[in-house]
Structure 1
Amino acid sequence: MKTNAIKLSLPQVVGRGYATFWNFKGRYRVCKGSRASKKSKTTALWYITNMMKYPDANLLVIRKTYRTLKDSCFTELKWAISRLKVDAWWDIKESPLELTYKPTGQKIYFRGLDDPLKVTSITVEKGVLCWAWLEEAYEIMSESDFDTLDESIRGEVPEGLFKQWTITFNPWNEHHWLKKRFFDVNDDNILAMTTNYLCNEWLDDSDKKLFESMKKNNPRRYAVAGLGNWGIVDGLVYENWTERAFTLDEIKQCKTRSGLDFGYTNDPTAFFVGFLDLDAKKLYVWDEFYEKGMSNKAINDKILAMGYSKERITGDSAEPKSIDELKSMKLRIKGAKKGKDSVMNGVQWIQDLEIIIHPRCTNFITEISNYTWETDKFGNKLNKPIDDFNHLMDAMRYALEDDIIGNKWLY
């Protein structure tokens, strides 16, 4: 293929803060970071640059659920191709997700842990599968699941090439296995680093203002989402929950419950779908979406695309205009009644349930494992949950409102 030579300065393209990350060649390159820390974009730039540098290298990109890859890693890698101005050299396929470097036939494969056989059975057409990128690794709750993934990067590699995992995530919970496995050890084969938004020279004033506001108004979140420190989780609101794959046949006797919490710029819109077995006091968490910047039209279209057009939905009544607009689009939605002490009454009722969460509901798992009781300035727990990690928690409570009221709670 004949193309005009393109000269780029990688420091100018990549920016600062990642020199050690860029040059490390050990087995595990692990980066926990805050939001806007460039960790995913830098990773994408590294892979596109080095796929073209090493003609025998192939890459496997993994997240817990396949459906989350298109709007995350796949988009980041397409962005990197464009930023490096090498669009003409790459073939981009969306069904299934796949990127091919045209001059050599090297490929970037995308897989979800929700289909483990497809992860462990990849056979490359050209060269070797030597690199893997696990994005949002915090979603992987079981270390043994990662061990299974790790085994997929095996065998000999040509001279000059090396096998490597890149593991990126937001560090919400200090008790996660990732901390002990990679950050609490001294191993030359592991690079474990922390980055934050302060190394991102491309943030504008409005971006920086968002973090400064977070620092002032929500220091707990700022420590994690701003500085990339480990989240300290103490005093969970809901403790009786497990993550387990289940089928619709298993829950066919249960009643569907759906709830919607509105967000837009800073907070996500959160949609919850569950199945309630009231006699057995079990709640099965089946599906979700969790996205920022959604108009009401986009919310409607998303719910329809997910197949929930006929479900009865209870939404946040603080947004009556949005409720009315979604009704006009033919969604079967009503506003939550709320009322005095509604949050605590709902929480107490849900605490009596056994909550079984389908593994694909990664945002729900993140929230419920970080949804804790508020504390006063002395560290004493207060009788109310924190105003954080609560978008799907609120959507779940709205979804169960009729059951809570029906069981004589003052709502």
Structure 2
Amino acid sequence: MSLAVEKEVNPHFEDFLFDWRCKTQLLVGGYGSSKSYHIALKILLKLLEEKRTALVVREVYDTHRDSTFSLFCEIIEDLKLGGKIKTSSSPMAVKFPNGSKIIFRGMDKPEKVKSINNISLVWLEEGSEIKYAGFKELLGRLRHPTLDLFMIISTNPVSKENWVYTHFFIDEENERTVLDDERLYKERTIILNEVYYHHSVADDNLFLPQSYIDQLEEMKDYDPDLHRIARFGKFGVNGKLVLPQLEEWEHEDVMREINSMGHALFKNGMDFGFSDSANAVSRMCVDTEKEWLYVWDEYYTRGKTDPEIADDLAAMGLRKTLMKGDNAEAKTIFYLQQKGFRILSCYKLTRIENTKKMKRFKKIIISKNCPNHIRELKTLTVKIDTRTGKEIPGEFNIDPHTFSAMWYGLDDYEVANVKGYNAKRK
């Protein structure tokens, strides 16, 4: 079916509208950039041209009504196609005269997603809100015997811990780099590994009033994280940092400082895990005069048995090194003691107490030879209660195994508090 339509669009999206070279298309952008509008327009034009079934997905089904579904209705009316393209609100759907249709689903009702067949085009709106398992499930739903398949993902760039970033950009934990996001911000449009990347900001939307952009600019005065996301469409740390005093140093510089230290106190801590959680050892040195903490060596692994861990620690020369371990893992600690390791259970301080202690160090310096400490701690933020918007004390955006190992190793060391009491060693 061929219909001639005229529509004024933002120049930054002109090429995107008719570019179907890549199966996967990722649109990252700030608030008001018009990425969702142009995705909806692109899908409408494609379905007018070819008979297809498109699936539009958000994490919560009911949020479609005032977002994606409303957007399609607006564009259909603007193109004066209401007499040809029909919309229904219950259930939400868009039907074309050539047999094409758009259906809307939410990942909060997974059974509704699994019942769909012959989907050749999927749009994930607010992809960062959808779980990674949901994304992979939708990839499995994308199938058609004859038509080319397409997955379009749109998102505001939130935390670098989000699956969108680790899948399409950089996954530090697994040492996997697909694309440096800074390159995307500079080049704006990139095709790499059969993925079409597109970046946009409010300035790309020529239909926005200046007052809206001014409003985005004002965010830098009261919410710098949101300003980075909304105004510039960039990934980063999203939330309040737990350890803002953390620094990364070259290993040689760390060891030079430790070796010249007149008030050095060495500490070692271990956290235990298996498959989902990690085994982590943190080797630390405290400058008791400056109240600086150095992390100079680490052990970090998953899926190993106690005998395998014992062999690893022995190979690191830790058999005679005093360590403190998680008191909840008495069986593992006893096993390591039987193997000749000097490991003891830590005191039972709470997560809140341990976190407060770590925040009292004036500096926490991590050697670049400790990539897992850097990965977990440099973006560690306080967890927020989504219902109240308030911080949850002692809870974080991830489960930081290295942080726990540091707690255990320092459990008998008291850092000087803000009232000026001297630090003491027990």
Give the structure-2-normalised TM-score.
Answer: 0.51
Where do residues 168-317 of structure 1 align in structure 2 (5 Å cutoff)?
Answer: 168-184=154-170, 185=178, 187-233=192-238
Who is 1:82 aligned against?
A: 77
Residue pair 1:135, 1:169 contacting (<8 A) in 2 also? yes
Match of 1:144 among 102, 110, 133: 133
Displacement of 1:155 in angstroms is 3.4
1:97 aligns with 2:83: no
Distance 1:379 1:88 in 2: 65
Give the Cα separation in 1 of the matches to 2:77 and 2:142.
Answer: 28
The amino acid that maps onto 2:232 is: L
Aligned to 1:165: 151
* Identity among equivalent pairs (%): 26
SS for the counterpart of 1:203 is: coil
Measured after TM superposition, the shift of residue 389 of structure 1 is: 7.5
- Which amino acid counterpart does residue 104 of structure 2 have in structure 1? F
- Which residue of the partner structure matches residue 356 of structure 1? none
What secondary structure sits across from 1:41 in the alignment? helix
Greater mean alpha carbon deviation, residues 181-190 or residues 45-54: 181-190
Residue 32 of structure 2 corresponds to 36
- Among 113, 124, 137, which residue is 1:119 paired with? 113
Residue type matched to 2:116 in 1?
I
The question of 1:49 aligning with 2:45 is answered: yes
Structure 1 unaligned segments of length 5 or more: list them.
238-348, 353-373, 398-411
Task: Give the distance between the partners of 1:198 and 1:180, measured in 2 at CA.
Answer: 27
How much does 1:21 deviate?
Answer: 2.5
- For the aligned residue pairs, the C-alpha RMSD in angstroms reads 3.5
Aligned to 2:270: none
CA separation in 2, counterparts of 1:219 and 1:181? 25
Q: Which residue of 1 aligns with 2:125?
A: 135
Contact 2:55–2:105 (CA<8 Å) still a contact in 1?
yes
CA contact (8 A) 1:33 1:228 kept: yes
User: Over residues 111-160 of structure 1, what are the superposed CA-to-partner deviations in whole Å (9 max), with x where a residue is unaligned?
Assistant: 1111212212214xxxx52101000111123x2221111111113224xx
| Amino acid in the other structure paired with 1:116 | P
CA separation of 1:350/1:58 partners in 2, compared to 1, >3 Å: closer, same or farther?
farther
Name the aligned partner's letter for residue 170 of structure 1: N
Q: Please give the per-residue CA displacement for 1:225-263, whole angstroms capped at 9, x wherever unaligned.
A: 1110003147567xxxxxxxxxxxxxxxxxxxxxxxxxx
1:15 to 10, 16, 33: 10
Say which structure, 1 or 2, has more relative contact order (CA 8 Å, 6+ apart): 1
- Verify the 8 A CA contact 1:130 1:157 in the aligned structure 2: no
Following TM superposition, by how much is the alpha carbon of 1:213 offset from its aligned partner in structure 2, in angstroms? 1.8
Are the structure 2 counterparts of residues 62 and 351 from structure 1 closer, same or farther at C-alpha, using a change threshold of 3 Å?
Answer: farther
Q: Which residue of 1 aligns with 2:341?
A: none
Within the candidate set 100, 107, 112, 2:101 is matched to: 107
1:214–1:121 distance in 2 versus 1, CA, 3 Å? same
Greater CA radius of gyration, 1 or 2?
2
2:385 touches 2:391 (CA, 8 Å); kept in 1?
Answer: no
Question: Which ranges of structure 2 fall in alignment gaps of 5 or more residues?
Answer: 171-177, 180-191, 243-349, 354-358, 366-380, 393-426
Aligned length: 243
